[in-house]
Amino acid sequence: MKALFCYTLFFVLIASTNFLAQEMVELSSPSGKIVLRAGIEDNKFVYGIIYNDTVRMEHCELGYVYADGDSCTKLDIHIFQERTVDEIWKPKWGQYSSIKNNFNEMSVVLNQVDSDRQIQIIFRAYDDAIAFRYKNLDSVDSITIMSEETQFGFKEDLETWWIWADYDTYEKLYNKTKLSECEHVAAPVTLKSKSGVYYCICEADIDNYSSMNLFKIDSLTFKSNLCPWSDGTKVKTKGGFESPWRVILITDNPGDLIESSTLYNLNDPPAIKELDWVKPVKYVGIWWEMHLGLSDWGMADGRHGATTENSIKYIDFAAENNFDAVLIEGWNTGWEDWGKQGAFDFVTPYSDFDIDSVVRYAKKRNIEIIGHHETGGDIISYERNLEKAFEYYKKHNIRYVKTGYAGGIIPSGESHHGQFMVNHYNKVMRTAMDYGIMLIVHEPVVPSGLARTYPNLLSFEGVRGMEWNAWSEGNPPSHTCIIPFTRGIAGPIDYTPGIFDIDLSNYIIKKKKWNSLDNGENAVHSTIANQIALMIILYSPVIMAADLVENYNNHPALNIVKMIPATWDDTKVLKSEIGEYIVIARRSGDKWFVAGITNEQERGVEINLNDFLNKNQEYDCSYITDHLLSHYEKFPEKYLMGNKVFTANESANTQMKEGGGFVMIFEPK
Ligand code: NOJ
Ligand code: CA
């Protein structure tokens, strides 16, 4: 690992430029491609961004309104410092086995002239991003932030992919409009200029702070809006606080957004060094059957899913088919009282679930159990039981836990995305780390690269995932062509793909409707090849094959699923257009896994193998593609499978049908 630090003190006045004409400081990315300019304009501290020699953002104000007055107005630039970092680090899991972290940093201290208040802003320029964070320098015991004044103002109207900001959920379908046409959006939000420059506004290292959404203040400018506490304040903190990083990724093509590691680079190295116990997994689980209405989480009506017998069936299937883990939801009592405070104690099994024999059997078959903590949003009870609940899992050798927060937060008035919950999620993350437990978090606050510091934070929902197909009108094919470029930029997605029985009509007679969004006409809107491709396209260090095991037994396509790993050595997005299609190549050892998906439109794909395969080497390719008749609505379960030999100087061609996709696995001969 090479770390290069240079530390100088200087002050630069950039003479008049065509924007920000007053006193300016400037910071360039290592290649010079991205330049940040910041300085005082009309008594406010502002920044702008130049990319490929063109001004893209300008006059963007920075600062705060605290409960006792404003900050970052009437300022003097007091001092600033610069350093460069160029290092390589190795993540425990991810899209790459090693990550380059290369940035230039500049730190500005601002003095408010009519008070003794000071704030520092740390800017970093990466070759694919500008990031900055505020560091408060006041020595006071309490600060209440009423508003963060950060602006993101563009020079032209951009295509924008966004969901409505909501303080409790990101489980929505994306809109595509002009920047001028959206109002209040969740972060990450992704934008594209006419000339083909892509932006994603997101945040890194959210800790003891509220999460950010974006409010339009004029047709081309967003302002950060922090999710409030129940009393309307935004952040309760003290002197010395650091905000999360505000990040603007800027790239020449959409694939580079997916390839970026900048969010991780903005987080600190691991909090502890001994992390051999952190392992990505591929899993099946007692899950889809409840969402389909075939069984239940609770025991009340005699349709309990998480029985000892059903668990053994899933463990056997996992052991025989190259899976690492089995998720068991609904094993603990309380589901009948969902929504009431104190419903779950997290340690009492239902009478038909013998946890000791299930974990003993799993151990014998070398399968990990993924335990479940559904809180229903009742944070008061969960925090009261947290240590006991993790102790219980540890005692039973359960090292993976899926947490869930489906329901209104208790204490009432707090929101899933506010500081109260950020602090809760991070408390669970740190407690789990102490117990050697890895987490999958549903109904989370959007991830922010914290997994670099806490690699036990494996995956997150925070997206409209597969479950919506079981009990609502579902997710259209374009949805999964958008989320890798939006929510996916924030971190791993536990989307839970891999449904083989796609036309859900078989279940109509057997199912019991349990969700009010269910109009009875459910289906998974994709072909089977698309479902398998999603396991590669949507990166997660926990990959679920979500279907019932009886739908996998003896299915030829399971052979492709069996080969897919949950972590990668390298990743290249070969072609993509947001909302249209994506083709990604990922390497594990000497094998390359290429996956593609398309939206509602059929399209041909040509893959130049010399973009990633070794020259002069023959490869065996196992593939699954759409069939001539495949279509996400008509014949979604049709597919073609086969094997073919390729060399790097060839290209591989295939046709993705409507809502379709493919997977090709290249293994050296
Ligand atoms: C919502 C989660 O997203 C889903 O995965 C889980 O099965 C249910 N809540 C029940 O906890
Ligand atoms: Ca959910």
Cβ–ligand 1 contact at 402 (below 6 Å):
no
Contact between residue 427 and residue 390 where contact means Cβ atoms under 8 Å apart: no
User: Which of 87, 467, 473, 650 is an active site residue?
Assistant: 467
Is the predicted pLDDT of residue 18 greater than 80, yes or no? no
Give the pLDDT band of residue 70 (cuts 50, 70, 90): confident
Residue 286: name the closest of 314, 312, 309, 308 by CA.
314
Is the predicted pLDDT of residue 264 greater than 90, yes or no? yes
CATH of 8-265, one of 3.40.640.10, 2.40.110.10, 2.70.98.10, 2.60.40.1180: 2.70.98.10
- At 545 the pLDDT is 98
Cβ–ligand 1 contact at 374 (below 6 Å):
yes
Position with higher pLDDT, 72 vs 578? 578
- The CA 559 to ligand 1 mean position distance, Å, reads 28
Average pLDDT over residues 219-242: 98
Average pLDDT over residues 171-189: 98
Average pLDDT over residues 282-296: 98
Element holding 652 (H helix, E strand): strand 651-656
Element holding 135 (H helix, E strand): strand 129-136
Domain 581-668: assigned CATH number:
2.60.40.1180
Give the pLDDT band of residue 668 (cuts 50, 70, 90): very high
- 374 CA closest ligand 1 atom index: 11
pLDDT tens digits for 341-374? 999 999 999 999 999 999 999 999 999 999 999 9
Cβ–ligand 1 contact at 296 (below 6 Å):
no
Token digits of residue 456: 């036990």
Cβ–ligand 1 contact at 338 (below 6 Å):
no
Is 606 a known active-site residue?
Answer: no
Q: Measuring from atom 3 of ligand 1, which residue has the nearest CA?
A: 442
Is the predicted pLDDT of residue 20 greater than 70, yes or no? no
- CATH architecture assignment, domain 281-566: Alpha-Beta Barrel (3.20)
Q: Which ligand sits closest to the CA of 406?
A: 1
Q: Which ligand sits closest to the CA of 292?
A: 1
User: Where does the chain hold its CATH 2.60.40.1180 domain(s)?
Assistant: 581-668
Give per-residue burial for 114-133: e unless 16+ CB within 10 Å, then b. eeebbbbbbbbbbbbbbbbb
Q: Which ligand sits closest to the CA of 494?
A: 1
Average pLDDT over residues 231-237: 98
Contact between residue 288 and residue 330 where contact means Cβ atoms under 8 Å apart: no
Give alpha helix (H) positions in 220-340: 254-259, 262-265, 288-292, 308-320
d(CA 404, CA 391): 18
User: Where does the chain hold its CATH 3.20.20.70 domain(s)?
Assistant: 281-566
- The CA 461 to ligand 2 mean position distance, Å, reads 7
d(CA 563, CA 322): 8
User: Where does the chain hold its CATH 2.70.98.10 domain(s)?
Assistant: 8-265
Cβ–ligand 1 contact at 461 (below 6 Å):
yes
- 461 CA closest ligand 1 atom index: 3
Cβ–ligand 1 contact at 498 (below 6 Å):
no
Residue 269: name the closest of 83, 77, 1, 522 by CA.
1
- 297 CA closest ligand 1 atom index: 10
Residue 61 φ/ψ, nearest 5 degrees: -75, 155
Percent helix, strand and coil across the chain, each to the nearest 5:
20, 35, 45
